[in-house]
Structure 1
């Protein structure tokens, strides 16, 4: 699978997620030059010497999964505060996160991205908002980690400027001034953002949350993003505590507060969105603002269950997010599709979310949130060849009547192959471009160093 050779994935059930939602019980996908050339029913028939045919009999082919909310650095702090509320969890972890540096980010980020890739994820979004002084180029480190593993990457330059001394939640030593944040964000866009059709890296603007940033920062961040033509992201309506904070401090609900600051629109998506009332959902729909649903993290922190069915019925764009590994140690994007379906049905009945709707949220829905749906999220001629090939003829899945139901409701099947722009990312369940043992060792080192950073002796 190199050079200009044409690659054909043949004999699988193909789930396209195209406009007509075509599915082929037996079909094939032709990949040429990093893009999908065609998607057709039936096995591939051809004799050209420059065509590599991959026999995918017994597999299901889908678009590569798209993660829309994550914190890669948290791979270094898994297993902390396991029985805590969100605010308790943050209070315990903020001081530890204050020890982040480039090396920790690179090691932890590579392992986290690798695990996401092994769960079928081909596009990784990250929300990095902790920038300790003297930590180095943290955003550059995670972008390098993404390139090493081989995923498509949407980096957001996050920020916090409301520390404890000003009534915020984070300790003062992990917040920045507005001027520092705006300079750092503009520099990240200038250095890393690639808006071209073949882009592997894009950058967005992402102040952390209403309880860790000021209104001035939110206004100026929105203005910067729109001036540079990039997207906006933050946490909103994750907990009842946040609702209380906004009403006590600003006299408004979280969604009304964000609207007053210019933070709604088709270029904006919010993480979590659990505690939206009917008026808030109508406002999101009216403005085209999206929601990254993170069911496993929400459950791990006891934050609540997103009103997914109501959001979709109103026309709100919905994608899925794994969220940081410190609140979702499993870090499996395919599991998020399953949990999104189960939680929706647990609260809304058996028709609250279908298996294909859950898979759509994990693919095309996520691409739409990132503003990348013209290139990824479905298998269509001309789109990027970001593809997942799932083996469904093993004991766990053989004989399941509906292969999409097997994929979403069953145990996550082995990932036979995944491609990003036509290049292998995973082969037979293993990362294709990096050594997994090396990533594991790096992750262990990062976890040790963030808890016990090397002592810096004073200069004499």
Structure 2
């Protein structure tokens, strides 16, 4: 097919500074070039031009979500007193949901994400029928198969063989994976036995899989790994898990050191939340190249203060942004989380004028880095030559304001269209509509 020129009064390609009267030239779902509209039209004579209102922004990357829990929104509809209180409520609803159509719930989540400008996600999947949904919806990213509840004994008995056979089936043969890019999600340091966690690191390396882990969401997670005591230890025992860490009275290590000693931390792993990371733990994650996906609205639902965003920025830690699921967040609008991070950073003392830009970059290129999709074929999170043509349209005119700040302040809830390069025929998702339209790429 011929080239298509997408143009707008303002283009935020992320890979380069904002471009007034900008345009992106596209063919077959991939970006050919970005630049001034006049330049792109001259370079591609005869190309079809699609003119968009306001601002075209590189597609948002939701670096931590659970699309299958979209229909559990009633769990996330109130504020809790603690992580443990929320977890107990979540478990009661989840374990009583026999017969739930998790794939349909995930499809609803994918549609909501697309209509808010998200074009890629790290989707943590608990129930196998939801694994292919991300890929089928035209979203880029990684579907992470969640693993939790295995003791060393159950893992050796059936768990390990079941996981490896599932991974082989999901990845399919040759160039036809059944679920797009597949990763592993060891749920958290407190939901798997020590030997299982270590072996999941081994399997991830063997099968060349990325990993994604919940880390330090609860204030009591440190007590659990250090001494095997506290509210999380009681919660784990109540769920019937008999883990080595409980029998041994802890490891003497905090959660980050514990996971690192087991070989789980590295550039091919990213973690979610990090609400209670201390300075030494943040430094170790930076040293290992581990990105932290921040989900401040989910944290607020659980009665938490939010992550140490100012420190993470000042120290140069790689960060991304996630919504978590509707079971702990009011929407799948990633920009709402970016807006809250902006407020938190200022409240925590971050004074740099680069804050809006860095947070928008975290929600785009930062998410791509967390998922390992920041370079090579299929690059996401930016509009640049060779990347997927993923973008969102916001009818905003920043005027003399910083365009990144305008997007953060006025963009939430305002996305009017989303284009995903994962569909070469050019599917456009229209906000507030059940309809989609197509154009040639």
Q: What is aligned with 1:16?
A: 13
Q: What is aligned with 2:238?
A: none
Q: What is aligned with 2:163?
A: 185
Structure 1 CA distance for aligned equivalents of residues 316 and 174 of structure 2: 28
Could you tell which deviates more after superposition, 151-160 or 404-413?
404-413
Segments of structure 1 that go 5 or more residues without pairing to the other structure are: 130-137, 167-174, 435-460
Q: What is aligned with 1:93?
A: 90
Deviation at 1:71, TM superposition (A): 1.5
Q: What is aligned with 1:6?
A: 3
Could you tell which deviates more after superposition, 417-426 or 252-261?
417-426
Q: Is contact 1:341-1:353 (8 Å) kept?
A: no
TM-score by length of 1: 0.81
Q: Is contact 2:396-2:411 (8 Å) kept?
A: no
Structure 1 CA distance for aligned equivalents of residues 352 and 434 of structure 2: 36
Structure 1 CA distance for aligned equivalents of residues 114 and 194 of structure 2: 36
Structure 2 CA distance for aligned equivalents of residues 241 and 60 of structure 1: 43
Distance 1:68 1:11, change over 3 A: closer
User: How big is each residue's C-alpha offset from its partner over 1:67-120, in whole Å with a ceiling of 9 and x where there is no partner?
Assistant: 111122221221227232211111122133124567521121111111111111
Q: What is aligned with 1:106?
A: 103
Q: Is contact 1:425-1:432 (8 Å) kept?
A: no
Choose the corresponding residue for 2:225, options 232, 246, 251: 246
Deviation at 1:245, TM superposition (A): 1.4
Could you tell which deviates more after superposition, 219-228 or 421-430?
421-430
The alignment status of 1:126 with 2:116, answered yes or no, reads no
Q: What is aligned with 1:355?
A: 356
User: How big is each residue's C-alpha offset from its partner over 1:389-415, in whole Å with a ceiling of 9 and x where there is no partner?
Assistant: 22215xxx7x46333221111252532
Deviation at 1:143, TM superposition (A): 3.6
Distance 1:352 1:23, change over 3 A: closer
User: Where has structure 1 moved over 6 Å in runs of 4 or more?
Assistant: 194-200
User: How big is each residue's C-alpha offset from its partner over 1:237-283, in whole Å with a ceiling of 9 and x where there is no partner?
Assistant: 11211122122222211111111111211111111011111111111
Q: Is contact 1:159-1:181 (8 Å) kept?
A: no
User: How big is each residue's C-alpha offset from its partner over 1:178-234, in whole Å with a ceiling of 9 and x where there is no partner?
Assistant: 554433432343233489999982111111111111111110100000111111111
Q: What is aligned with 2:25?
A: 30
Q: What is aligned with 1:401?
A: 401
Q: What is aligned with 2:208?
A: 229
User: How big is each residue's C-alpha offset from its partner over 1:308-345, in whole Å with a ceiling of 9 and x where there is no partner?
Assistant: 23223333221111102111021211211111111111
Report 1:353-432 matches (<5 A). 354-374=355-375, 375-393=379-397, 399=399, 401-412=401-412, 414-421=414-421, 423-427=426-430, 429-430=432-433, 432=435
Structure 2 CA distance for aligned equivalents of residues 14 and 411 of structure 1: 14
SS at match of 1:426: strand
Structure 1 CA distance for aligned equivalents of residues 282 and 100 of structure 2: 41
Structure 2 CA distance for aligned equivalents of residues 234 and 385 of structure 1: 29
Distance 1:196 1:162, change over 3 A: closer
Q: Is contact 1:150-1:425 (8 Å) kept?
A: no
Q: What is aligned with 1:457?
A: none
Q: What is aligned with 2:180?
A: 201
Q: Is contact 2:8-2:56 (8 Å) kept?
A: no
SS at match of 1:45: helix
Structure 2 CA distance for aligned equivalents of residues 246 and 279 of structure 1: 16
* RMSD, aligned α-carbons: 2.8
Choose the corresponding residue for 1:160, options 148, 159, 168: 148
Segments of structure 2 that go 5 or more residues without pairing to the other structure are: 229-249
Structure 1 CA distance for aligned equivalents of residues 365 and 54 of structure 2: 20
Q: What is aligned with 1:267?
A: 268
Structure 2 CA distance for aligned equivalents of residues 277 and 319 of structure 1: 18
User: How big is each residue's C-alpha offset from its partner over 1:44-74, in whole Å with a ceiling of 9 and x where there is no partner?
Assistant: 5359786221112x42111101111112222
Structure 2 CA distance for aligned equivalents of residues 300 and 381 of structure 1: 40
Q: What is aligned with 2:139?
A: 151
Deviation at 1:424, TM superposition (A): 2.1
Q: Is contact 1:34-1:385 (8 Å) kept?
A: yes
Aligned length: 405
Distance 1:373 1:100, change over 3 A: farther
Structure 1 CA distance for aligned equivalents of residues 160 and 409 of structure 2: 44
Structure 1 CA distance for aligned equivalents of residues 139 and 342 of structure 2: 26
